Amino acid sequence: MKKILWILGVVVTLIIATMIGGSFYMLDYSLAPDSNRTDRDSCFRQQFREYPESKEWVDSLQTKNALRDTFVVMPSGERHHAFFVNRGSKRTAIVVHGWRDCAIKYFWLARIYEHELGYNVILPELHGCGESEGEAIQMGWKDRLDVKHWMEIFKSDTMVVHGVSMGAATTMMLSGEQMPTDIKSLRFVEDCGYTSVWDEFSGQLKEQFGLPEFPLMYTTSLLCKLRYGWSFEEASALKQVKKCHYPMMFIHGNADTFVPTWMVHPLYEAKNDKKGIWVVEGAGHAQSYRAHKKRYIAALRLFHESQFNQQVDSSGHD
């Protein structure tokens, strides 16, 4: 009997140790910043290789001294970085980057807002990304308040927040908060964002490792709460979108498997009114612009001209 109890104790101990070890691994795997996050040269090379049109645009901005580095101290006491494209406009776009990315990799989107639509542009680098301080990525949840702080600093008459991937989740999570006053027109655009951190990590756990939610998702979420002050369950874009009273555009590639396409539909349904959706034919994750460049710009222009509740036609090619 004692031997049986001893064996059971060893098995239970091993199971608990495996769960704890797995939770630490999953959390570090998911939230660890990019080790090369401050390598600007590499980011610029990738940006210009994938989006050649941004090269001439950046060169022009630098010639006119219109592309500036900006550092601010967040309420948390951490020093965060953003690029500011100053067009001298009364309209400002905030462009929010994706998971383990930096702002430079989204200059293609900043170019659309400045060159095509006539906005000043702020490209903040989120907590633990690019040149912003932080030991772990926050998956958009606490980042929503950091982006709100950038909004307050660069507040203008007309504003739009446009995020891609994790930046899209950040945008939606922000949209349910009380917005800064004195903004006459405010809109949100989300491109391939997830419904919640729980849904995204649960899907990746199954896709990458073939594992079910229980027990690892629960223990890792608890560990995240203990270490970083937030849990996977609370970090919900879906819940925040339900509280949003501002116009929102939803974009998602129909070939997206990293943030599965199905996620855009409950998000769109959760938004009460003043909304548009474009499910982009043939586009993978964060590839909607590359798949249909002219149509992407046209969809944004249509949205910013206050055409809501319309299904954007994604048929055909550029």
Is 191 in a helix, a strand, or coil?
A: strand
Question: Do 74 and 3 share a structural domain?
Answer: no
Nearby residues of 2 by Cβ (< 8 Å), 6 or more positions away: none
Q: Which two tokens stand for residue 91?
A: 């309209």
Nearby residues of 44 by Cβ (< 8 Å), 6 or more positions away: 58, 104
Q: Within 10 A of 294 (CB to CB), how many other CB atoms are there?
A: 10
Q: CA-to-CA distance for 102 and 84, rounded, in angstroms? A: 14
Q: CA-to-CA distance for 88 and 119, rounded, in angstroms? A: 8
Boundary (domain end) residue, out of 210, 230, 250: 230
Q: Quick one: pLDDT at residue 23?
A: 84
Nearby residues of 115 by Cβ (< 8 Å), 6 or more positions away: 57
Question: Do 156 and 26 share a structural domain?
Answer: no
In a domain, 253, yes or no: yes
Which residues of the chain have a pLDDT value below 70? 1-19, 306-318
Q: Quick one: pLDDT at residue 21?
A: 76
Is 121 in a helix, a strand, or coil?
A: strand
Cα separation values, 114 from 43, 101, 188, 281, Å: 20, 21, 16, 26
Q: CA-to-CA distance for 308 and 264, rounded, in angstroms? A: 17
Which DSSP helix (H) or strand (E) runs through 280? strand 275-280
Question: Do 149 and 61 share a structural domain?
Answer: yes
Q: Quick one: pLDDT at residue 312?
A: 45
Q: Quick one: pLDDT at residue 316?
A: 41
In a domain, 222, yes or no: yes
In a domain, 142, yes or no: yes
The pTM for the full model equals 0.93
Residue for token digits 């170019």? 111
Q: Quick one: pLDDT at residue 306?
A: 67
Q: CA-to-CA distance for 229 and 247, rounded, in angstroms? A: 30
Query: pLDDT digits over 258-291, tens only?
Result: 999 999 999 999 999 999 999 999 999 999 999 9
Query: pLDDT digits over 218-250, tens only?
Result: 999 999 999 999 999 999 999 999 999 999 999
Question: Do 91 and 214 share a structural domain?
Answer: no
Boundary (domain end) residue, out of 230, 246, 279: 230
The domain total for the chain is 2
Question: Do 218 and 104 share a structural domain?
Answer: no
Radius of gyration of the chain (CA): 21
In a domain, 204, yes or no: yes
Q: Quick one: pLDDT at residue 77?
A: 95
Q: Quick one: pLDDT at residue 315?
A: 42
Question: Do 255 and 216 share a structural domain?
Answer: no
Is 306 in a helix, a strand, or coil?
A: coil
In terms of Cβ atoms closer than 10 Å to its own Cβ (0-12, 13-18, 19+), residue 225 is middle
Is 127 in a helix, a strand, or coil?
A: coil
Domain encompassing residue 192? 49-196+235-304
Question: Do 263 and 122 share a structural domain?
Answer: yes
In a domain, 191, yes or no: yes
